[in-house]
Amino acid sequence: MKHPNLISIMIILLLTSSIVKAQDSLIEVQTPVENKLKLSGELLIDERFLLKDNNDWAWNENRLSLKLEKLITDNSKFYSEVWLRNIGLPNLTTSANLYNKGIVDPYNLEIREAYIQMFGFLTNNLDLKIGRQRIAWGTADKLNPTDNLNPYDLEDILDFGRHRGSDAINMNYYFSSDFSLQGVFIPFFQPVNLPVGIFANALNPPMNLPQGMVLKGTSDNLLMPMFNLEESSIAGLKFKGSASGIDFSLSYVWGRDGLPMATRNTFTPVDTLGGINIYSQLSFIRTHIIGADLVTSIEGVGLWAEAAVFAPEKDLIMTNDLSALYPLSPVAVTKDTLLLDRTKPFIKFIIGGDYNFCDGSYLNIQYLHGFIHEKGNVNLNDYFFIRYELKFFNEKLKIPIGGAFIVTDWNKIKDNYAFVLIPQVTYIATDDVEITLSTSIFDGKGENLFAKLKDYNMFMFKMKYSF
């Protein structure tokens, strides 16, 4: 199977680059250096294998990131970032797959960002950005409860905080150098993309079945919002300011949760021994999100705090249809469960700080209440993150040690906890080549996310070349 879109895009990129270079060389005397098309990027090699049994491969990624930037005029700029990737392992099941190069050697192309930015649009105080863009909100390190405009990119579950870009209209009005107002409109809803490979089921909620029932199979139907302005669009406002050494912001998002929730489950018997199949309908809930954050520094210690209030637009009710289990019942046998109450918003927040010591070492500590996939006050867990980094040989050798401790039930902590330990060694081989060796170790008890990864301890090798 051929990939005409991919080939066409690559040809266009190469031709565009060649034409721009030719044009720049012809008018080099007349065009300032900063107006040339700037090409930068990186090559990332990311390999991981499990630390058990046969050391199965857990991850294989070769990513070429290309960034193009050009100041078109003094008042406008073009920027784009494209990923060309060979990712995953061949999933071959029949000899017919050998004729499909996309299966034998899986790859993809992703446009992460591509936009035009105009400075002083209509008025000197207004900047306008149109196109696919990453709109990052929040002050914490990677984990940001207020960062809800772009969909999460959960492909790699160990890459916390990664988002995809969104097609958006993004305006910033500057009242002064210290105060501004940002307005964002995103016309098309984009759901979260879930983890792949061995982590594919990491975010799936536990299935608690009545005694005597055995789950044999599942299927589902995803209820996407209609692609119109009322159902699909997302909007946000953010007021940002700085006073007395404190940077702060207040924000509001009228959006949708990118992770779907089951709103109806239909139970169907498949044998006489209690075996059942479950068919689910999944919905994306409309949510109002009010956020606030701040960041400051006291005696060299960086401090930040961030919180977001999530208020569902309406009650979220899950209906379990058991009618097929009771065929003689004169009425439908259903059970409703209130998952989210619109009158009881839930709050996710994070606080943290960091410090650079005189010997060059670095410490970063954060406490998070409520992870990415958790919803509702009773379902928010506590996460403690710490990262300590030592540097040697003029910072050519770095030894970061990162970890996390998670508690899901403080009253029964012995059976409801998890911990993560990720020691690593990073060597700066040259000014543009970085090599990292690390391991990830998971353990715990209960149904929390990281406890479910305890069978996936792994060794990781990464090499990054920047240009």
pLDDT tens digit string along 379-397?
999 999 999 999 999 999 9
| Average pLDDT of the segment spanning 52-68 | 93
Q: Could you identify the residue written with the tokens 């089921």?
A: 201
| Average pLDDT of the segment spanning 20-39 | 56
Parallel, antiparallel or unpaired: strands 458-466 and 433-445: antiparallel
| Average pLDDT of the segment spanning 149-166 | 94
Predicted confidence band at 27 (pLDDT cuts at 50, 70, 90)? very low
| Average pLDDT of the segment spanning 34-45 | 90
Rounded to an integer, what is the distance from CA 335 to the centroid of its chain? 34
pLDDT of 165 above 80: yes
User: Long-range contacts made by residues 130-134, C-beta under 8 angstroms, separation at least 24?
Assistant: 130/168, 130/169, 130/170, 131/167, 131/168, 132/165, 132/166, 132/167, 132/168, 133/165, 133/166, 133/168, 133/170, 134/163, 134/164, 134/165
Distance separating alpha carbons of residues 9 and 73, to the nearest angstrom = 26
- Tokens representing 266 are 């239909």
- Torsion of the alpha carbons at 149, 136, 388 and 368, rounded to the nearest 10: -30
What is the structure's pLDDT at 16?
45
Predicted confidence band at 34 (pLDDT cuts at 50, 70, 90)? low
pLDDT of 195 above 80: yes
Rounded to an integer, what is the distance from CA 238 to the centroid of its chain? 21
pLDDT tens, 399-440? Answer: 999 999 999 999 999 999 999 999 999 999 999 999 999 999
The Cα-based distances of 276 to 218, 322, 462 in angstroms read 9, 11, 44
Cβ(151)–Cβ(132) below 8 Å = no
pLDDT tens, 197-233? Answer: 888 877 877 777 778 889 999 999 999 999 999 999 9
The secondary structure of the chain, three-state, reads: CCCHHHHHHHHHHHHHHHHHHHHHHHCCCCCCHHHCCEEEEEEEEEEEEECCCCCCEEEEEEEEEEEEEEEEECCEEEEEEEEEEEECCCCCCCHHHHHCHHHHCCEEEEEEEEEEEECCCCCCCEEEEEEEECCCCCCCCCCCCCCCCCCEECCCCCCCCCECCEEEEEEEEECCCCEEEEEEEECCCCCCECCCHHHCCCCCCCCCCCCCCEEEEEEEEEECCCCCHHHHCEEEEEEEEEECCEEEEEEEEEEECCCCEEEEEEEEECCCCCEEEEEEEEECCEEEEEEEEEEEEECCEEEEEEEEEEEECCCEEEEEECHHHCCCCCCCCEEEEEEECCCCCEEEEEEEEEEECCCCCEEEEEEEECCCCCCCHHHCCEEEEEEEEEEECCCCEEEEEEEEEEECCHHHHHHCEEEEEEEEEEEEEECCEEEEEEEEEEEEECCCCCHHHCCCCEEEEEEEEEC
What is the structure's pLDDT at 3?
46
pLDDT tens, 302-343? Answer: 999 999 999 999 999 999 999 999 998 998 899 999 999 999
What is the structure's pLDDT at 257?
96
What is the structure's pLDDT at 31?
44
Distance separating alpha carbons of residues 112 and 114, to the nearest angstrom = 7
pLDDT of 89 above 90: no
Distance separating alpha carbons of residues 306 and 349, to the nearest angstrom = 6
pLDDT tens, 257-293? Answer: 999 999 999 999 999 888 999 999 999 999 999 999 9
The Cα-based distances of 114 to 14, 139, 345, 458 in angstroms read 16, 24, 35, 35
What is the structure's pLDDT at 203?
80
pLDDT of 192 above 80: yes
Distance separating alpha carbons of residues 345 and 376, to the nearest angstrom = 8
pLDDT of 36 above 90: no
Classify residue 256 by burial, with Cβ atoms within 10 Å: 0-12, 13-18, 19+: buried
What is the structure's pLDDT at 20?
44
Neighbours of 188 (CB within 10 A): 12
What is the structure's pLDDT at 418?
96
The pTM score is: 0.87
